[in-house]
Amino acid sequence: MPKRPQFTVVKTSEGWRVNVPASLAESGKRERYFHQTRDKAQQYASELREKYKQHGEAAAIIRPSLAEAATQAEKILKPWRISLVEAARMVAEIKERENASKPANEAIDAWLLACEGLRARTLDGYRQVSRKLKAAFNDTLLTSIGAEDIQNIIAPPGITGAAVLGRIRNARAFWRWAAKKGWCDADVFKAVEAPKNGRHQNEIAILTPTEAKCLLQVAEAHYPDAVASYALQLFAGIRVEELRRLEARHVTEGGIEMSADITKRGRRRHINPHPTLSAWLAIYPYSPCPNWREVDKACRRLAGWNLDSRLLEKQAAQAAAENGSEPEQLPVPTLGRWPQNALRHSHASYAVAAGAPLESLLFEFGHTQNPSVLREHYIGRASKKDAIEFFKIRPKGEEVPSIVAV
């Protein structure tokens, strides 16, 4: 039977010493404590005896299986210089965090509910990333999800583009919210890496006059309700997100009134319509296009761009069902991936090439920076000849003399 510790007080040159054996020390190692006076040392020794009486005496009758397990655990922990007590505390902390955590699906549902009332576009982005996270993690506790797990779902290596950056931004918003609830560790998300963008990825891309004309002609032939929306983007440079908030009353012969609740920056601006835009709106007066997102994808696909269109696939399936035949395959894309913000960039590039002052474009575009930003992106992007061809595009294939186009 192990010898009962005495916790004797010994006077030394360093003070009054009390020895604590390794079997009783919290660190798992032999400890020595020094006190300036004997009274304090004796009081401490008395506290240790009482503590041993309450908790330590059970160690004298510890069952052999537990002693063997403790010995094996001590060997496992030895290379790491961690005592059994420290290891037990670490495990307890892990279990406490797990008990305070939530399954991913429950946490995400709670987050989306808390986000009700935000802008529709913001909520749409949150819902998209939520579907990805729920499909991947389902009932996994948030504390069991690592940065690498998140990385592989929302931004796997080799994947780039604005969509990936958006997913990272939206997933980060969820993770921070959950961390404030105590359901996960906020620092985990710091290890999630955004895709590296090379300098070439910052270069803008525009449509050629032929590509712009083809897109408008496709809309005229298949989706006339979308024509005015394209004209406003191509010949006035209105952002897609602003177009979703634009109403028919904002577009008149006198110009396009972009109120603060429409613009991205929350600053009112007024756009004087170019003669080309006026020609399009005279035949296709603006009103919001129903189901714009799917109609836009369908038009771009029919114009030759490489992207999926659920609307075209649905129409092909319906036609096949009516005829009792197999659905026709969509035409093979002849162009590449659709350039980001292509319509707005096209308008600015051709307007600059046609001689529009940068200062007027700065206001009409809703930029808050100085003209150097427009100068960097748009000057020299298009030629004078292409600008003339661009602004000559008219409804139903009509053209106007070059002098009127600019």
**Is the pLDDT score of 360 beyond 80?**
no
User: Do 369 and 234 reside in the same domain of the chain?
Assistant: yes
User: Do 109 and 36 reside in the same domain of the chain?
Assistant: no
Number of domains observed in the structure of the chain = 3
Q: Name the residue with tokens 């083809």.
A: 214
Domain of 220, CATH number, reads 1.10.443.10
**Is the pLDDT score of 51 beyond 80?**
no
Long-range CB contacts (< 8 A, 24+ apart) of 23-31? 23/59, 24/48, 24/52, 24/56, 26/83, 26/85, 27/83, 27/85, 27/86, 28/74, 28/83, 28/84, 28/85, 28/86, 29/83
User: Do 230 and 369 reside in the same domain of the chain?
Assistant: yes
pLDDT at 55: 59
Residue 2: which domain range?
A: 1-61
pLDDT at 367: 53
Q: Which of 151, 167, 198 is the last residue of a domain?
A: 198
pLDDT at 403: 43
pLDDT at 404: 45
User: Do 116 and 180 reside in the same domain of the chain?
Assistant: yes
What is the rounded CA–CA span in Å between residue 140 and residue 280?
54
Using DSSP's 3-state secondary structure scheme, residue 61 falls into: helix
3-17, 32-46, 224-238, 271-285: least confident range: 3-17
Residue 86 lies in a domain: no
Global pTM value: 0.53
pLDDT at 287: 93
User: Do 190 and 280 reside in the same domain of the chain?
Assistant: no
What is the rounded CA–CA span in Å between residue 285 and residue 87?
73
pLDDT per position as a tens digit, 291-348: 999 999 999 999 999 998 999 999 888 888 888 888 888 878 888 889 888 998 898 8
User: CA nearest 351: which of 257, 294, 282, 271?
Assistant: 271
What is the rounded CA–CA span in Å between residue 404 and residue 402?
5
CB 173 within 8 A of CB 107: no
* pLDDT top residue among 400 and 17: 17
pLDDT per position as a tens digit, 242-290: 888 888 998 988 888 878 777 766 777 888 888 999 999 999 999 999 9
Tell me how far the alpha carbon of residue 104 is from its chain's centroid.
Answer: 17
Give Rg (Cα) of the chain: 35
